[in-house]
Homo-oligomer: A and B are copies of this chain.
Amino acid sequence: MERPSVRRLREEIQQTKPFHDRAHAAGIALVRTADEGRRTFESLVTPHGVSIEQYNVLRILRGAGEKGLPTLEIAARLLEKNPGITRLIDKLEAKELVRRARCETDRRQVFCTITAAGAAIVNELDEPSRRQNQQFFRGLTAAQIDTLLDLLDRVRYPDEKP
């Protein structure tokens, strides 16, 4: 854990650091910041009986409405691989937060829909998660958040011009 005092010191000598050191420091900061966010968010959702991953599935399914979504479509939206999704939904189904039904027109597909109980959990978490997110970024102004978002996008899409 980088201490604040260490950070100030680092800032003072920043100018002399080569690019790869800055990139290294940024990589570490990225991982640690994301990890901290994950943990605090986890402590918000687990009291409601779901993990972060399960919550994300529920949120996607709530957005999909009555018709639901095929299993792998959920995986795609979560940037996740197939096997994980199957088991994630196994657990959500066991808790009756999600229902599965084979598609009639293409019997390979399994459509997943959220139940009322599942939707209730996601709805309950809307406000708290919004607040928690704002709390998480409270060290930044709105303009700084925009900058952060822009920089993160540039990292993921390095070959775009704007």
Measured CB to CB, the residues of A under 8 A from B are 1-2, 4, 7-8, 11, 14, 19-20, 22-27, 29-38, 79, 130, 133-134, 136-140, 142, 144-160, 162
- Selected from B38, B148, B162, the residue in CB contact (under 8 A) with A148 is B148
- CB pair B32–A37 under 8 Å, yes or no, is no
CB distance from A125 to the nearest CB of B (A): 13
**How many angstroms between the C-alpha atoms of A153 and B7 in the bound complex?**
8
Residues of B within 8 A of A158 (CB): 138-140
- Selected from B11, B27, B30, B130, the residue in CB contact (under 8 A) with A20 is B130
**How many angstroms between the C-alpha atoms of A145 and B23 in the bound complex?**
7
- CB pair A23–B133 under 8 Å, yes or no, is yes
